Amino acid sequence: MFKHEKILFHPVSVEKPNPQYAALLQEQLGGANGELKAALQYMSQSFRIKDPEIKDLFLDIAAEELGHMEMVATTINMLNGHDVDYEKVEAGEIQSHVLLGLNPGLINASGYSWTGDYVTVTGDLCADLLSNIASEQRAKVVYEYLYRQIDDKCVKETIDFLLNREEAHNTMFKKAFNKVQNTGSNRDFGTTKAAKMYFSMSEPSPEDNQFSNVGEPLNSFS
């Protein structure tokens, strides 16, 4: 069961409308690395998790991602302003101006619809955790790109908060992976000689190549 608290996870505001930037920010609402994708991925993965501590972690982060989605949508709404005018969007997504009446939509920055294909679920906890670590890292990169392309101090403050929460989730997932790294696919595979061999296909190789010595796989996070 979920309950909607009528307060944003973190306050958002804008200095002035900026429909062009609103189109860019759509990427984190309905894009492949956006907040909706994260929320539904972690929630979907949680259904089969037996470890109660990790199950709660997945559901707690999923719930927070829904809160982030609300923050992003609210910011987009403010940036879109009040006038339906396609000329204010010089490139990229124009659906908000011709289909949605400026309502933030489940589309990315190019106007493509969100799809369940973005969600990765394997049923293997190690694989799903590694996927989530990568998802948080990719989301962080997108937010970094967005941060560099806006001068609005209020929007930058929102993005900075979301960036730091992605980093927090990344750390939590890494900690969970360390707890279960010797289970599932990490236990069932990678135990033969082939798992400890390195084939140098690039000659000449750098001296003291750290990757050529794979006798002990490094599969934990510090």
Least confident range of 63-72, 93-102, 138-147, 165-174:
93-102
Q: Which domains does the chain have, with CATH numbers?
A: 19-186 (1.20.1260.10)
Residue 97 marked as a ligand binder: no
- Position 204 scores a pLDDT of 75
Residue 93 marked as a ligand binder: no
Dihedral sign, Cα of residue 31, residue 21, residue 6, residue 67:
positive
AA identity, residue 127? A
Residue 60 marked as a ligand binder: yes
Residue 4 marked as a ligand binder: no
Q: For 127-178, what is each residue's pLDDT tens digit?
A: 999 999 999 999 999 999 999 999 999 999 999 999 999 999 999 999 999 9
Angle in degrees, CA 176, 177, 181, rounded to 5: 130
What share of the chain in percent tops pLDDT 90? 66
Residue 65 marked as a ligand binder: yes
